Amino acid sequence: MGEIIINRRRYQVAKADEEMSLLRYLRARLGLTGTKNGCEEGVCGACTVIVDGAPRRSCRLKVEAVLGREILTIEGVEAEDGRLHPIQEAFVEAGAIQCGFCTPGMILTSYALLSKNLNPTREAIRKALSGNLCRCTGYQQIVDAVELAARKMRDTGFVARTLSKGDTV
C-alpha cells in the first residue's frame, strides 16, 4: 500500500489500484471528475494535472508512478473558502470557458506556467498551452485569460496554497 498526495490531502492507495491510470483513479476511486477523459492517448490535454509542479497527462501515468508525489487537480485550485483562483476568474472574465471540457486542463497548464513566470509573453503562453486542444474558443480568449490571470496575480501578490502536512485521508 502506497501513499499519494492529491490537493493537499494524503490518501492510502490499495496495491490493486497502483496499476490504474491516474486519470481513472482520480475519477473512479476519488470522485474527482474535473479531470476529463478526452483521448486516453496523452494528446488532447483534457486530463492534465500538476505533478510536483509540472503539468502531466493523467491518462498516461500509472498510479504507482506518482506514489509519494504531490498532485493538484482542478478541484484543488480554488481557495479554501471556495473563492475562485485568479486563473479561474480570468478564464470566466475573458470568455475562455466555452463548453468547459478542456478548461480544467487549460487552467492547470496555465497554473504551472504562472507558478514559474508571472510575466509570460503571448508566445510563451501559446507554447505552454500547445499540448492542450480546444474545439470552441479559437485560443485567443484563452491566451487573453492567461495574460489577465498573470496581471491579477502580480497585482495582488497571490501565493498558491501548499500541502498542509497534517491533512490525511
Fold of the domain spanning 86-156: DNA polymerase; domain 1 (1.10.150)
3-state SS class at 84: coil
Amino acid at 91: F
Report the chain's mean pLDDT, rounded to a whole number.
92
Residue 32 main-chain phi, psi, to 5 deg:
-90, 85
Domain 2-76's class?
Answer: alpha beta
The residues spanned by each domain of the chain are 2-76, 86-156
Q: Is 164 a residue whose pLDDT tops 60?
A: no
Report pLDDT digits (tens) over 92-127: 999 999 899 999 999 999 999 999 999 999 999 999
Which residue, chain included where needed, has cell 509570460? 120
Distance of alpha carbon 50 from alpha carbon 21, whole angstroms: 15
Q: Which of 55, 153, 44, 35 is nearest to 113 (CA)?
A: 55
Q: What is the DSSP letter of 38?
A: S
pTM confidence score: 0.91
Q: Is 134 left (phi over 0), alpha (psi -120 to 50) or beta?
A: beta
